[in-house]
Structure 1
């Protein structure tokens, strides 16, 4: 292995993986997939990307695990090798890092190494800071499946709509059968956008944001400060703390404080229910879980799309907002999450 080999790092089911960046062609958020009955089980559908039909691979199923529910925050990493292209579905894409030879090994523990064979999907592991990252064998991921005759873009365009196709598809082949109508609309809009694009998007200067809701209002948050979204787990109350400190939660062995930011935004604090999600945010040495009602989408915003806060909704807490931006047919507030974390009095005063 050469020094400074670049790898794209992503997460899947609470584990970290890497794939050589040279084989990555693009990354986009998960769109609606069209199922192909003749494909093997882990090829879960196809998508039309600018007239090119790409098979989509469920890595969890390829690894022999049970597939989980897809989410609107999932992404697709498009890879190419040996003249073949395929997309792999992942939870979250992080960054490209350059790995040095001493960071990588195929030795699991002393004297025991990962076997190298034609069916191996993971052949090396790497240590990046405090993370263990499994490095994917790109050749086997793309090449280790029976090639099927994929439909052409014209065939897909003239075929019945997805709802008609879905009637004749086995349940395990259906795309996101439990998705809400709102989530299905988002998946469909992404698929339509990918099909209509004539060129790959230039992401220069764009800001990746998650669209969430608080008290049924839309807010955008910068994904650079968001580590993950998760279910709001069992809450352990913390005595003698301010009202915005809901309690603590155990996140895979890490104790994270749950902080309700609605008071900072002049929103009434309501009860946290079982359907609430936790947005795990971080800045420097501050890590917190912020309850949100829903996570609707992950989109890119251009700075030119940000507008000033309308006079009608000005408040004393505008310092925690970066502006507003359009979202579908509505307007959402863009939270200044960095300022909230640094100046939002999130740290519990020891004298309390």
Structure 2
């Protein structure tokens, strides 16, 4: 039996999941271009590096009026039937690996917890949590309309307009993004939404650059941001159980039972020259696999997934060179702060993280 990975997320009080293989990018909600003439499933479109991406709101897909969007919401970019689409979510949670035994089928064209099951492939029950797994084949109810929408909007991108100055469509659409999605935003919040949109639509000049982008999971440890190669990340999770291991170094926090698999938690703060802090139940962790080694890294925050051009990484500052340069691949700007890109294989192999069983 082959397990499948699902990215889980929340909309309002409901927990959803979608096949992780469809997910391409995750980033905070930018200012959208309202799409009044589209099907009721599409709340708007965004310009992602000169590619038009429709944004689906699951409330609209379910037939309910959408609630107010927030600056803290996220966009998940999906590859669907050869097209890029996206869904708007309120909170991105962990990556889960599920097998068929924990997934229950649901009646088609029925309702469960006020959810239209026509768009649900199954329901997974993990402990006390119910996760509704979306049916990827039914995310778009009108494919022809969607293709026409993308084609029309894409053709308009090549025509110079007043929209190119960064004030994205707000003055020219009635209702505009804020009237439609978040009428109570402040001027400061609107500026952040607009800056996100400007950043996302910046194009890469050469396809070779695009193909060489590094996919990074951005995590927060203390007051610093770190980038971790997404290929090494198995899932994000919360620490809901912890068993100490006697006679181990301080960086070995203990073992946790992750759905029947025992994963050792390893604190890398000391290696990164950060102060050690207690790891408590309820803290977040990133489960990382390198070759045949699987460990959990306690972190303070799981922020988002970004795609970084390696050429944009800057040399390490002198202060970093004095301490932990051998464990960093470089640095880059992220949301106004410096993002340190971790060399996790080197941390694992040269950072003396192994448990000495003879102690």
Consecutive unaligned residues in structure 2, runs of 5 or more: 10-15, 96-102, 109-116, 123-132
Aligned partner of 1:221 among 221, 224, 228:
228
What's the CA shift for 1:245? Answer: 1.4
Name the counterpart of 2:26: 29
Task: Give runs of aligned pairs for residues 231-250 of structure 1, distance below 5 A.
Answer: 231-250=238-257
Q: 1:62 to 1:10 in 2, by over 3 A?
A: farther
Query: Aligned equivalents of 2:48 and 2:331: distance in 1?
Result: 31
In structure 2, do the counterparts of structure 1 residues 122 and 72 end up closer, same or farther at CA, with 3 Å as the change threshold? closer
Q: How many residues align?
A: 302
TM-score (norm 2): 0.60
Seen in structure 2, the aligned counterparts of structure 1 residues 85 and 27 have a Cα distance that, compared at 3 Å, is closer
- Given candidates 192, 198, 201, the residue that maps to 1:192 is 198
Task: Quote how far apart the aligned CAs of 1:12 are.
Answer: 4.2
Offset of residue 216 of structure 1: 0.9
Q: Is the Cα–Cα contact under 8 Å of residues 77 and 84 in structure 2 kept in the other structure?
A: no
Separation in 2, partners of 1:277, 1:245: 16
| Aligned partners of 2:73 and 2:88 also within 8 Å | no
Contact 2:314–2:332 (Cα < 8 Å) also in 1: yes
Distance 1:349 1:73, change over 3 A: farther
What is the CA deviation profile of residues 248-277 of structure 1, one whole-angstrom value per residue up to 9, with x for unaligned ones? 223233222211111112222022357742
Q: 1:80, 1:142 within 8 Å by CA — same for their partners in 2?
A: no
User: How far 1:158 sits from its partner (Å)?
Assistant: 3.9
Q: Would you say the 8 A contact 2:204–2:210 is kept in 1?
A: no
Please say if residues 275 and 293 of structure 1, whose CA atoms lie closer than 8 Å, have aligned partners that are also in contact. no
Counterpart in the other structure of 2:130: none
Post-superposition CA distance 1:191-233 (Å, at most 9, x none): 3233454879652222112232222122222222122222333
Gaps of 5+ in 1: 1-8, 95-107, 125-133
Q: C-alpha root-mean-square deviation of aligned residues, in Å?
A: 5.3
* C-alpha distance 299-18 of structure 1, shift in aligned 2 (>3 A): closer
Distance 1:75 1:18 in 2: 11
Check 1:343–1:330 CA distance in 2 against 1; reply closer, same or farther (3 A cut).
Answer: same
Deviation of 1:244 after TM superposition, in Å, equals: 0.9
The TM-score, its normalising length taken from structure 1, stands at 0.61
1:159 partnered with 2:159: no
Asked if residue 11 in structure 1 is aligned to residue 24 in structure 2, the reply is no
SS at match of 1:340: helix
For residue 315 of structure 2, give the secondary structure of its aligned residue in structure 1.
coil
1:33–1:43 CA distance, 2 compared to 1 (3 A): farther
SS of equivalent residue, structure 2 residue 225: strand
Determine if contact 1:40/1:145 at 8 Å carries over to the other structure. no
Q: What secondary structure, in the 3-state scheme, does the structure 1 residue paired with 2:316 have?
A: coil
Q: 1:319 to 1:16 in 2, by over 3 A?
A: same
